[in-house]
Chains A and B, each alone.
Chain A
Amino acid sequence: MARPEITYAIETQALNLWYSTFQALFDVDLQIKRGQITSLIGPSGCGKTTFLRSINRINERLGYVRTTGSITVLGNDIYGPNVELIQIRKQVGMVFQRPNPLPLSIRDNVIFGYRLHEGRGRLTRSQRDEIVERALRQVLLWDVVKEKLGRPAIELSLEEQQKLCIARLLPVKPAVLLMDEPCSALDPTGTEAVEEMIWELRGQYTILIVTHNMAQARRTSEECIFMLLGRVVEHAPTEELFVTPRHQETADYIEGRYG
């Protein structure tokens, strides 16, 4: 379980991944610092989303995915024989490209994960309301939705839906939040609001965020990873990577020569 001396929330070693015969990741060795926001950038198809989706093993839904190498989350090998998938998913929350609130009320969306893990019985109404309020406050959504917690979540704007999708991860107290282009479906105002919110969560959670948007990576992350064709090209503090990239490919990409 989580030991205090761990400095890296996620470590991978020689991670290779195939979609049936197509190899999407090549020998990915990464160490992602605990409590920081790390962004993953690179052109489409470079494997950044694939990498993200292997950390909570949601990739396996596809059935034809094969992985070699190791991924360690908070000191636990997630492909280890005595690891429970449910426990990994509890520790590692995920936000998707398109907001995907469940077809339930706002309140039930927030409490959904908690109920899965803690069971329904032991929760009194006031405890539940407290959990819902705390989660919604953390994503800066409470003031907007407090009057309409019983309304269907799909009635919210996309920006609010995405915040709700982040809020529903928090009650189960995850250590890591994976975000797959969380702002790509949002307009500029929504993007700004969600970015601001993600920045607020820094320190409490280890956040790994995939983005197409280099300006976003620069604004919202402390470390940055550049991937190309399934390989990690460069991993450095964000400022360093953008100001003094060490590799030619990185420099070309951030200057917009491809991607």
Chain B
Amino acid sequence: MDRRDLDWYIDKAVQILVFVGGVSAILLIIGIFVFITKEGAGFLTTTFDAKEFFTSPRWRPTSEHNPTYGALALIVGTASITGLAILIAVPFSLGAAIYIGEFATGKTREILKVLVELLAAIPSVVWGFIGLSIMNSLIIKLFDVPVGLNVLNAGVILGLMAAPIMTTIAEDALKAVPDGYREAAEALGATRWQVIFKVVLPAAKNGLVAAVLLGVGRGFGETMAVLMASGHSINLPTSVFDSVRALTATIAAELGETAVGSDHYRALFTLGIFLFLITFLINLTADLVLRGIRKK
């Protein structure tokens, strides 16, 4: 039997505190999920029409006579912005990660890492502002289009936002590659590029895939910047110069205007459930892929 002195009680108290801290994250996630499901459930069981939801581009929840809840345009809007963002972010972040991880040394490396992390900390509304004010006029001037708030704008902004996170995770993945591999390849006469392309990148493959997936997850969930830069008009885009509307932006823009408990209100929560499931799946996949490398 332990002696129940002050240290013993402190030990116990800290144990409980840490336990509560750890469990509360799980409870909160479950709580959030239960909440949005509960709010969206009324819609899901009554007015919800899966065919309409996934195939109709008509999102007209405020129509007096015949409200329609087709989310296709919103899904396509989110997907197109995220897709373009990933296309832009992957080369940037991979290049940055390779440079920081494999080439930069000493001070350069430390400064770059701090800067990249700083870049990740820029609030999304600031990015949105850049999209609204700078990118908008730039796109109009550069491509001679009437509106600069479109897929291109939002994609570039979102790409720049996702790149720092992807860089940090990709760099971690490169750092996890045992140095013995590099040494072995160099001693065999491989050039630096051969070491990177034939040894380091293949060995870090899983971590790099996870980095990209987390970037995708970030893209799906991002709201403010996308709301400000995308033009926010319901539209099935045919080119990058079309304005679109994202799932997240729809919720953010409309939720304040609806009556609690109305069909519209519940439909927005259904969008929330959908978003939650997608980001959850993406993050889960990324996590499983990352775990894959640890096992080896």
> A interface vs B, CB < 8 Å?
56, 58, 61, 63, 85-90, 93-94, 96, 98, 100-104, 112-113, 116-117, 154, 165, 168-169, 172
Contacts and interface: CB of A to CB of B under 8 A. Distances in A.
Given A63-B105, A116-B194, A100 B181 contact: yes
Interface of B: 105, 178, 180-191, 194, 198-199, 202-203, 296
A154 B189 CA distance: 22
Given A63-B105, A96-B180, A102 B191 contact: no
17 contacts: A56-B187, A58-B183, A61-B186, A86-B191, A89-B187, A93-B187, A101-B184, A102-B181, A102-B199, A103-B199, A112-B185, A112-B198, A113-B188, A113-B189, A117-B189, A154-B296, A168-B188
B190 A102 contact: no
B183 A86 contact: no
A102 B185 contact: yes
A88 B186 CA distance: 11
A61 B187 CA distance: 10
A94 B182 CA distance: 13
Given A93-B188, A96-B187, 4 more contacts: A61-B186, A103-B181, A103-B203, A165-B184
B180 A98 contact: yes
A169 B190 CA distance: 12
A61 B183 contact: yes
A169 B186 contact: no
A93 B183 CA distance: 12
Nearest to B199: A102
A247 to B, nearest CB: 33
Contacts of B181: 100, 102-103
Given A100-B180, A102-B181, A90 B189 contact: yes
Contact of A102 (B105, B184, B189, B296): B184
Contacts of A116: 185, 188-190, 194, 198
A21 B126 CA distance: 48
Nearest to A84: B189
Closest 7 CB pairs of A and B: A89-B189, A100-B180, A113-B188, A94-B187, A100-B184, A90-B189, A86-B189
A96 B188 contact: no
Nearest to B178: A100
A169 B180 contact: no
A89 B186 CA distance: 8
Contacts of B180: 96, 98, 100
A180 to B, nearest CB: 10
A63 B104 CA distance: 11
B112 to A, nearest CB: 17
B161 to A, nearest CB: 33
Contacts of B178: 100
B247 to A, nearest CB: 40
Contacts of A63: 105
A90 B194 CA distance: 14
A8 B184 CA distance: 26
B191 A96 contact: no
A112 B187 contact: no
B206 to A, nearest CB: 11
Given A63-B105, A100-B178, A102-B199, A169 B188 contact: yes
Contacts of B199: 102-103
Nearest to A112: B188
Contact of A96 (B183, B203, B296): B183
B213 to A, nearest CB: 21
Contacts of B187: 56, 58, 89, 93-94, 96
Contact of A172 (B184, B188, B191): B188
Contacts of B198: 112, 116
Nearest to A101: B184
A249 B189 CA distance: 38
A119 to B, nearest CB: 11
Contact of B186 (A58, A93, A154): A58
Nearest to A58: B187
A103 B181 CA distance: 8
Contacts of B184: 96, 100-102, 165
A257 to B, nearest CB: 34
A93 B185 CA distance: 11
Contacts of A103: 181, 199, 202-203, 296
Contacts of A90: 189
Most buried by B among A85, A89, A93: A89
Contacts of B188: 89, 93, 112-113, 116, 168-169, 172
Nearest to A85: B189
A110 to B, nearest CB: 11
A85 B202 CA distance: 24
Contacts of A113: 188-189
B47 to A, nearest CB: 54
A196 B186 CA distance: 27
